[in-house]
């Protein structure tokens, strides 16, 4: 259950325990005098001298390469406005927390008491040797443009003003996917941008890079459309002046295909939506209240593709989808800057990810059964564990291809593995299992295919290319579930053990089972009845070579699942008992637990055989087992 976002709870969250949200922790041993001598004096002299002779060695001997400065002067904080550097510090600490948990990037937040461009540039330039990258945050326009541009020219490390480019990258991904859904071409669409601040201008620039024609983009600020009659426009706004003879937002919206709102609540009225072209794309990003509410927008236009900045509605535009992974990729190839190619690569990688089957953990987090690419899912969710590998890899590759990478990636598989390790997402054993499965995909019977979770697992198996599922159960029920949840299982084989189509094979399996078990109380009629059950029919498919393996046990008990397999397939030759193995994945590697649940109260001989069977299983994963046996006295 979510904690209510009350003022009391928010203040308590920040104040209780250690105040704030971030801390600095050592990364090297520091318990002995020897450790301290290495960390400081005299041991620290050696890396200092190495760096003096070769400045690039600072990345080898210090944390610079994984350290980003989040810098703000507090002049444009979170819609709160100019609240000053101290009041903006909680936001900067929060940004640091997001960098760490989503991309394992360390952060120092730095709040500057300076509103001048020259003062900010001078200070940031002076402290830049400390950092591998600079994330500018919550600096008001137009000063933010000059600060970023000057620093990008002066420094040889990535500099990005996230308020500008983060929203631009995320909305670009959403725009690309919305266009694919509606069948529109980017060079043909008419775009209205309401708001002319840092984010709006950056979004508009990136849309032009994607292919929007300048004459098809209209920008509106608090005084109206940026047109030729305006004499109050700075150099940044002047780039987006339109030649059209319009002056109001309502006029601009007529015949538009896309609306981007980075302004104030309630400025868009239903009649404005109705004046837009068919299948309008609307990103209303004023927070916490959009330019038009989601409910009002979808009630006004059934054909709308709608996005907001809120997590309680579809298609949330959330900058956390971008900045951690963009900096991760830039830092990992030691890029000298974050350029247009890298931003476009991030947008396209995000768009591509939204079209892939969604991990079940994401579905569970959002309490849905199956998120699917479509008008209500054009942007990935922030908790998608695949973001770091997809976006960081795309950014790193774009940095290399555009010539700004000083440390190119040479092994992309190893790099993806490294990214996974940073967040604890990677496990060599799972990777090994999947790699072996992809080389020789087997036919696997999913015996409980009348259950959504099983069908979702089958979809993932197909998407990852690790097996060929065979779905067992009532055909109509299974097809109904596939359609209900829009699963990509249209061409998967479905077998209904009770159907007339399977009568001949069912009879053959029953006769075979009767021959095996007739001296143990099984009659032919009893065998026929059993073969109507999935947990008997499934193992028979495996036993007779129609499949290579079977998965069951989600909706049936352990004995009801394993007993039919033991009766039909039996034990491996040369063994006297059957045992199982549990695998626990830990940060230090896998731990294999021998399963005695099939063998109640095993004696010494059985324990020895179970142990040896488990050791043999471990060796199948190219791991030499180290065995520990524990007992519990009663």
Catalytic positions, written as ranges: 40, 95
Neighbours of 1 (CB within 10 A): 3
Q: Please report, for the chain, how many H helices and E strands are present, in that order.
A: 26, 16
Single out the residue of 249, 246, 192, 247 nearest to residue 217, CA to CA: 192
Rounded CA gap, 410 and 555, in Å?
Answer: 46
Can you tell me whether residue 1 is helix, strand or coil? Answer: coil
Work out whether strand 493-495 and strand 305-308 pair parallel, antiparallel, or are unpaired. Answer: unpaired
Single out the residue of 331, 347, 196 nearest to residue 264, CA to CA: 196
What are the strands, taking DSSP E only, across 65-105? 67-72
What are the strands, taking DSSP E only, across 158-205? 159-161, 191-194
Rounded CA gap, 557 and 585, in Å?
Answer: 25
Please give the backbone phi and psi of residue 394, each rounded to the nearest 5 degrees, phi first. -65, -40
Task: Look at the block and give the residue holding tokens 């010539």.
Answer: 403
Work out whether strand 549-551 and strand 493-495 pair parallel, antiparallel, or are unpaired. Answer: unpaired
Rounded CA gap, 454 and 518, in Å?
Answer: 34
Neighbours of 334 (CB within 10 A): 20
Six-digit token string for 601: 């109260």
Rounded CA gap, 266 and 293, in Å?
Answer: 8
The CA-based angle 37-39-40, given to 5 degrees, is: 70
Task: Look at the block and give the residue holding tokens 């900010």.
Answer: 120
Q: What are the distances in angstroms from CA 347 to CA 187, 316, 500?
A: 17, 15, 52
Half-sphere exposure of 614 (CA within 13 A, CB side): 22
Single out the residue of 579, 563, 587 nearest to residue 616, CA to CA: 579
Work out whether strand 67-72 and strand 133-136 pair parallel, antiparallel, or are unpaired. Answer: parallel
Task: Look at the block and give the residue holding tokens 């003062």.
Answer: 119
* 273, 304 contact by CB (below 8 A): yes
Rounded CA gap, 197 and 444, in Å?
Answer: 55
């Amino acid at each position: 259950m979510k904690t209510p976002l009350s003022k009391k709870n928010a203040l308590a969250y920040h104040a209780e325990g250690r105040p704030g949200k971030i801390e600095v922790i050592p990364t090297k041993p520091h318990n002995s005098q020897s450790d301290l001598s290495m960390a400081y004096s005299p041991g620290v002299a050696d890396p200092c001298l190495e760096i003096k002779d070769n400045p690039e060695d600072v990345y080898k001997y210090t944390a610079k390469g994984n350290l980003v400065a989040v810098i703000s002067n507090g002049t444009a904080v979170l819609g709160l406005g100019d609240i000053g550097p101290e009041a903006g510090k909680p936001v900067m600490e929060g940004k640091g927390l997001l960098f760490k948990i989503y991309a394992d990037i360390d952060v120092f937040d730095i709040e500057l008491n300076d509103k001048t461009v020259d003062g900010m540039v001078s200070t940031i330039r002076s402290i830049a040797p400390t950092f591998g990258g600079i994330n500018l945050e919550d600096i008001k326009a137009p000063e933010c443009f000059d600060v970023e541009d000057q620093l990008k020219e002066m420094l040889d490390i990535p500099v990005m003003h996230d308020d500008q480019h983060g929203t631009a990258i995320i909305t670009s991904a959403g725009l690309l996917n919305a266009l694919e859904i509606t069948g529109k071409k980017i060079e043909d669409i008419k775009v209205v941008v309401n708001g002319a601040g840092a984010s709006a201008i950056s979004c508009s620039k990136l849309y032009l890079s994607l292919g929007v024609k300048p004459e098809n983009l209209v920008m509106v600020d608090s005084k109206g459309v940026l047109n030729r009659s305006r004499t109050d426009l700075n150099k940044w706004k002047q780039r987006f002046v339109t030649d059209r003879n319009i002056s109001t937002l309502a006029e601009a919206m007529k015949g538009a295909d896309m609306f981007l709102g980075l302004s104030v609540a309630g400025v868009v009225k239903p009649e404005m939506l109705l004046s837009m072209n068919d299948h309008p794309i609307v990103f209303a990003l004023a927070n916490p209240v959009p330019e038009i509410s989601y409910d009002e927008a979808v009630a006004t236009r059934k054909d709308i593709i709608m996005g907001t900045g809120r997590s309680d509605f579809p298609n949330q535009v959330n900058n956390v989808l971008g900045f951690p992974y963009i900096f991760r990729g830039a830092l990992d190839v030691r890029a000298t800057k974050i350029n247009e190619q890298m931003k476009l690569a991030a947008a396209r990688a995000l768009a591509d990810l939204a079209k892939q089957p969604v991990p079940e953990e994401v579905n569970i987090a959002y309490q849905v059964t199956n998120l699917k690419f479509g008008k209500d899912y054009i942007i990935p969710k922030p908790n998608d564990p695949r973001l770091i590998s997809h976006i960081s890899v795309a950014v790193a590759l774009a940095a290399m291809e555009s010539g700004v990478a000083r440390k190119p990636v040479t092994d992309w598989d190893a790099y993806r593995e490294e990214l996974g390790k940073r967040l604890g997402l990677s496990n060599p054993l799972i990777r090994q299992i999947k790699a072996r499965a992809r080389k020789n995909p087997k036919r696997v019977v999913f015996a409980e295919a009348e259950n959504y979770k099983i069908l979702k697992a089958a979809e993932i198996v197909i998407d990852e290319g690790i097996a060929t599922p065979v779905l067992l159960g009532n055909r109509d029920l299974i097809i109904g579930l596939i359609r209900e949840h829009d699963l990509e299982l249209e061409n998967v084989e479905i077998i209904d053990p009770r159907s007339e189509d399977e009568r001949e094979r069912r009879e053959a399996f029953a006769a075979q089972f009767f021959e095996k078990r007739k001296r143990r109380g099984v009659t032919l009629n009893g065998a026929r009845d059993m073969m109507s059950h999935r947990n008997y029919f499934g193992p028979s498919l495996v036993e007779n070579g129609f499949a290579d393996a079977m998965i069951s046990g989600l909706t049936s008990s352990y004995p009801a699942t394993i007993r039919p397999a033991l009766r039909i397939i039996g034990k491996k030759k040369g063994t006297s008992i059957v045992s199982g193995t549990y695998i626990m994945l830990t940060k230090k590697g896998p731990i294999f637990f021998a399963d005695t649940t099939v063998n109640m109260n095993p004696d010494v001989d059985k324990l020895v055989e179970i142990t040896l069977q488990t050791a043999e299983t471990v060796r199948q994963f190219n791991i030499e087992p180290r065995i520990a046996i524990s007992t519990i006295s009663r």
